[in-house]
A and B are shown apart, each in its own frame.
Chain A
Amino acid sequence: MSRLFEKLQKDVRLQEGLKSCINCGTCTAICPAAEFYDYDPRVIAEKVQSKNDTVIEDLLKSETIWYCGECMSCKTRCPRGNTPGLIIMALRSLSQDLGYFIESEKGRQQLFVKRTVGDWLLNHGYCLYLEGMGTDLFPEQGPIWDWWQENYRDVMDRMGANYQGEGPGILRKIPDETMAEVRKIFDMTGATERFEKIEELSMQKSKELNIEMTQELHNDYMHHVFTHNSHE
């Protein structure tokens, strides 16, 4: 058995997601990503099933594995009980564990995801953080969101929230002792290690590309990975 397939096989999602693919292409027919990108989940299953180290390594360094939207529509339709979406999740995890994600334009976007969703979760206890989601980063939210951001404390009060307050309620402040538990969970289960790897390899890549990266959320390299689309 190949070295990389063996690593993938340790992920229960690969065991659940890839039983025996017959390459019928039903997953591709239903896949929203296949409509938008040059993407074919059938081929992903075929390549992983090959157990060929070279083929799998190419996949782990490719743009292709980052196209899936994880809607899991493929799960419902596969006549053999496979889930290409789960195969993708196992591939993306391994690509980050081995540092291969940094080889692709789409993989490098993980820095933005880490610095927003990842850090918001680690620092505030929520995957999304109201004060970090302005129309500068998310302009499609429209003028209603500008109004909301200008008045967020009043609007949140009006909606019955407990914004940054003690006790239960909407967007309450997560107590310090809970955040300490979250940090410990991150440390013990691989999230801290993944975050550090994303930061370290992104810094190396920024130097290689000669685009400045700093510890601040807004910097040239972050802007680059957030917006750059070579359509390759």
Chain B
Amino acid sequence: MLQEGKKALWKEYQKEIADDRYFYVRSCVRQNFFPASETTFLRILTEELGKSVYEHPHHTSCSGVGYHSDVIPFETTMTMVARQFALMTESGFMNFVPSCITSFGLYTEVLETWHHFPEVEARIRETLRKATGREFEKPANLAHASDIIYKLRNEIADRAKYKLVNHNTGQPLRGVEHIGCHYAKMFPHKGVGGAEYPYVLVGMIESWGGEVVDYPERRHCCGFGFRQYLVKANRGYSVASSKKKFESMAPYKPDFILTNCPGCPYFLDRWQYAIAEMEGTTYGEDGMGIPVLTYEELAGLVLGYDPWDLGLQVHQVSVEPLLDKMGIPYNSSKKYLGKNGKFLGVPFKPAAIKVC
């Protein structure tokens, strides 16, 4: 194909991502399970790259997990979303950046709904006004936090202290990426690369020196399924989906799994442990698991941040094999220290899966 034609086609798979002045809304899953990823996102944007980011102390959950487990009505969710937009408007921002893929999908769904059903938007505006006295403008730009890191990936690469390269062999490290269903399956034109060629994580891996491994179940769901995981009686659905992915990727011997959605690193990390306990199967090297990272954690490693500042010690699957391959030094004796150096004890080491 001619390069001009290829570029013209690829343009259709791009999205506009704001350059600065971000209104940041947090993720329920990420705050509870990978809090340091949000800390790292803000550190990279504000301290490293000089961007302006504002977080309103009065913002709440978008209600997405409740909405997709069907306990929260759509009318409630739309009004909760409208309230978040009102906080953005009152703060003088226009570029809305959710830290969560479920939220990103939900904000997109609400905006699309209002586009197709203006009478619904008018009703929600009225409800919000009566309930809270607030008014809102819709965001000029809606981008997921990973879109921002994707946009800034080359600036991060310029500041890289470590590359996604095996420091012993000089070969690129091999990563599998998982973008999360609600990033682009619902509204393909809202994701970088759309649903067919999602590029948001691939772009990061390539810019930072690594190689992306394709595998058959690359686009399969991690298995959250909302109520399918929340309720114990349904969790077979969840673990079966993750297992399908592990079985499919393992033959390609990936060095790491990179994730986009807050829930996906949780499931791809924790289900590796559970499958080891249930069946004795492990998917990494020498009885270990395959390290699972958020994109902020990976960006932080590339920038040379301390692995324990990035929160890598709270993964159930150990990440040290990846640190060793990248040549990143770490102090194991500081792994389980609190903020002021207080030793918090060492987590129990399971027999079924090898951990560091």
Give me the interface of A with B, judged by CB distance under 8 Å. Answer: 11-13, 16, 32-33, 35-37, 66, 68-73, 75-76, 83, 89, 92-93, 96, 106, 109-110, 112-114, 116-118, 121, 125-130, 133, 137, 139-148, 150-151, 154-161, 166-172, 174-175, 177-178, 181-182, 184-186, 188-191, 194-195, 198, 225-229
Q: What is the distance, in angstroms, from B244's C-beta to the closest C-beta of chain A?
A: 8
Q: Are A190 and B237 in contact (CB under 8 A)?
A: no
Is there a chain A Cβ closer than 8 Å to B159's Cβ?
A: no
16 inter-chain pairs at a CB distance below 8 angstroms, sorted by A residue, are A16-B116, A33-B237, A36-B240, A69-B224, A112-B230, A118-B66, A127-B63, A142-B316, A144-B316, A147-B347, A158-B339, A170-B31, A170-B35, A171-B35, A185-B127, A189-B79
Interface size range on B against A = 35 or more
Q: Which chain A residues border B347 with CB–CB below 8 Å?
A: 143-144, 146-147
Q: Are B131 and A181 in contact (CB under 8 A)?
A: yes
Q: How far is the CA of A171 from the CA of B315 in the complex (A)?
A: 19
Quick one: which of A33, A83, A110, A155 has the most chain B CB within 10 A? Answer: A155
Q: How far is the CA of A167 from the CA of B58 in the complex (A)?
A: 8
Q: How far is the CA of A145 from the CA of B314 in the complex (A)?
A: 8
Instruction: For A92, give the chain B residue with the smallest CB separation.
Output: B70
| Interface hits, B128-156 → A, CB 8 Å | 128, 130-132
Q: Which chain A residues border B230 with CB–CB below 8 Å?
A: 112-113, 116-117
Q: Which chain A residues border B178 with CB–CB below 8 Å?
A: none
8 smallest beta-carbon distances between A and B, as pairs: A69-B225, A160-B39, A154-B338, A147-B347, A127-B65, A143-B348, A140-B274, A229-B233
Is there a chain A Cβ closer than 8 Å to B51's Cβ?
A: no
Q: Are A171 and B270 in contact (CB under 8 A)?
A: no
| Cβ proximity bits B193-234 to A, threshold 8 Å, 1 near / 0 not | 001000000000000000000000001110111111011111
Q: What is the distance, in angstroms, from B267's C-beta to the closest C-beta of chain A?
A: 9
Q: Are A154 and B348 in contact (CB under 8 A)?
A: no
- Assuming the contacts A71-B225, A140-B270, asked whether A13 and B71 have C-beta atoms less than 8 A apart, the reply is no
Q: Are B39 and A170 in contact (CB under 8 A)?
A: yes
Instruction: For A182, give the chain B residue with the smallest CB separation.
Output: B60
Q: Which chain A residues border B39 with CB–CB below 8 Å?
A: 159-161, 170
Quick one: which of B35, B58, B181 has the most chain A CB within 10 A? Answer: B35
Q: What is the distance, in angstroms, from A196's C-beta to the closest C-beta of chain B?
A: 12
Instruction: For B342, give the chain A residue with the smallest CB separation.
Output: A154
Give me the interface of B with A, judged by CB distance under 8 Å. Answer: 26, 28-29, 31-32, 35-36, 38-39, 55-58, 60-61, 63-66, 68-76, 78-80, 83, 105, 113, 116-117, 120, 127-128, 130-132, 181-182, 185-186, 188, 195, 219-221, 223-228, 230-237, 239-241, 244, 270-271, 273-274, 308, 311, 314-316, 336-339, 342, 344-350
Q: Are A93 and B70 in contact (CB under 8 A)?
A: yes
Q: Are B344 and A227 in contact (CB under 8 A)?
A: no
Say what secondary structure dominates the interface of chain A: helix
Q: Are B117 and A72 in contact (CB under 8 A)?
A: no
Q: Are B220 and A32 in contact (CB under 8 A)?
A: yes
- Assuming the contacts A175-B58, A189-B76, asked whether A32 and B225 have C-beta atoms less than 8 A apart, the reply is yes
Q: Are B348 and A146 in contact (CB under 8 A)?
A: yes
Q: Are B237 and A198 in contact (CB under 8 A)?
A: no
Q: Are B57 and A175 in contact (CB under 8 A)?
A: yes
Q: Which chain B residues border A35 with CB–CB below 8 Å?
A: 240, 244
Q: How far is the CA of A146 from the CA of B350 in the complex (A)?
A: 12
Q: Are A141 and B338 in contact (CB under 8 A)?
A: no
Q: Which chain B residues border A191 with CB–CB below 8 Å?
A: 72-73, 76
Q: Are A112 and B56 in contact (CB under 8 A)?
A: no
Q: Which chain A residues border B131 with CB–CB below 8 Å?
A: 181, 184-185, 188
Q: Are A168 and B55 in contact (CB under 8 A)?
A: yes
Q: Are A72 and B32 in contact (CB under 8 A)?
A: no
Q: Which chain A residues border B181 with CB–CB below 8 Å?
A: 71-73
Q: Are A69 and B344 in contact (CB under 8 A)?
A: no
